[in-house]
Amino acid sequence: MKKGQIFEGTIEQVIFPNKGIVKAEERDVVVKNGVAGQKVKFMVQKVRKGKCEGQILEILQKADDEIEPQCPHFGICGGCTYQNLRYEDQLQMKAQQVKALMDGVCDSYEFEGIKGSPREFAYRNKMEFSFGDEYKDGPLALGMHKRGSFYDIVTVDHCRIVEEDFGKILRCVLEEARKLNLPYFHKLSHQGYFRHLLVRRGVKSGEILVDLVTSTQASPDLTAMKEALLSLKLDGTIKGILHTENDSLADVIQNDRTEILYGQDHFDEELLGLKFKISPFSFFQTNSLGAEVLYEKAREYVGTTKDKVIFDLYSGTGTIAQMLAPVAKKVIGVEIVEEAVEAAKENAKRNGLGNCEFIAGDVLKVIDEIEEKPDLIVLDPPRDGIHPKALEKIIAYQVEHMVYISCKPTSLARDLEVLQARGYEVKKICCVDLFPSTVHVECVVLLTKVHN
């Protein structure tokens, strides 16, 4: 088998996150963005050390269980992968993928299956749209990256995983941006003005923040854009219109300076009866209703917390810490993002929780400085999991129970191997789908210390 060869075959299975397995010349070839049962034409892209990867060129025959996707952008936009499957089938596939990973590293545990998102569509409370063009030197576009492309942008004004307000705001900003006749920020030349549009909307409150992110290479009057946004007929209410400057060379949304064009720089959201102040760059679960399902399961795994000191490591804006604080002696949250820590402190104060302490810093270093010893540890690390040295320090506390929340099952599997080798037993695992139509899934794990 050589690079560039074209074959046909049927996708036999899909392993996490979206790796379809199709056979050619008696070899397994990995192709992305397909579903089991599809007959596909694909081109071999990589062949090395016995591993083969290919790119799907054409769907020759649909799978028996495929349905017509509801989003007009599906297949072109790179945001969603599984809108062509019934939601029940998506859940079953994700549960099977996670269980296969966990079975590979855990000898015995109770797998509690998967809990679905309360909403299949319009579930996201945040979107980061990019400026660009749909093709080289084409008209200005605003939306998501085209599937498989680093440069091309698809204007996703009918995206189904967000409320209709998002599409109305996107169309308005794009129309006003085109009137200004300024270029988007090019990733290679680092020249241009328009970079991103960040929109956040509270599911419970209906309050909306709009943040235009640009470089400082121009200084147009944005009054017309502000007035156009305020004249929109929306289901929600715009609480703030912001302009953030970002001169970073990297393709990331970075806050060098933010100006309030209208209203305020935050809105309120509610989660499990707690109130949270959300700013443009606050970390907050993107599926508010799904997050309630996730944290309810985590709280169930945590169990009795009376008179216990709890460490909430990688605490973000302190959602888990505040959820546990009313029934714990003390909760100490550690988070590396300083803005998230400040937000956590303010939110805890607003919710009347005096037994929460939040510390800004790297978990690897901070836990050496904390005088208290935990009775229980909750872990909710970034996608790449826990730093090996930090994990060893966490294990050294020898707490009776840990609850590990993970947004990337492959990182979780790696960390669970270490935890089990160091004397912990995996008791229960439950999946929670916070991201319908996509490849992503959250996991909650209960670990107990083994006593010989």
| Residues with active-site annotation | 407
Structure tokens at 385: 């999991």
Strand partners, 110: 428
- Note the residue count of the chain: 452
Alpha-carbon gap, residue 432 to 444, rounded angstroms:
8
Containing 300, the helix (H) or strand (E) segment is helix 288-302
Decide if 395 contacts 416 (C-beta within 8 A): no
Q: How many CA atoms lie within 13 A of 389 on its CB side?
A: 7
Structure tokens at 306: 């009376």
Alpha-carbon distances, residue 256 vs 171, 187, 215, 226 (angstroms): 26, 18, 10, 21
Q: Give CB contacts under 8 A, 24+ apart, made by 45-49.
A: 45/3, 46/3, 47/1, 47/2, 47/3
Alpha-carbon distances, residue 350 vs 78, 325, 384 (angstroms): 39, 13, 32
CA 222 from chain center: how many Å?
31
Strand partners, 74: 77
Q: What are phi and psi of 263, to 5 degrees?
A: 70, -125
Candidates 375, 45, 376; CA nearest to 32 is 45
Bond from prior residue into 17 cis (ω within 30 degrees of 0)? yes
Alpha-carbon gap, residue 435 to 306, rounded angstroms:
33
DSSP 108: S
Alpha-carbon gap, residue 200 to 237, rounded angstroms:
11
Instruction: Write the DSSP string, 241-260.
Output: EEEEE---SSSS---SEEEE
Q: What is the CA radius of gyration of the chain?
A: 23
Candidates 343, 309, 346, 303; CA nearest to 328 is 309
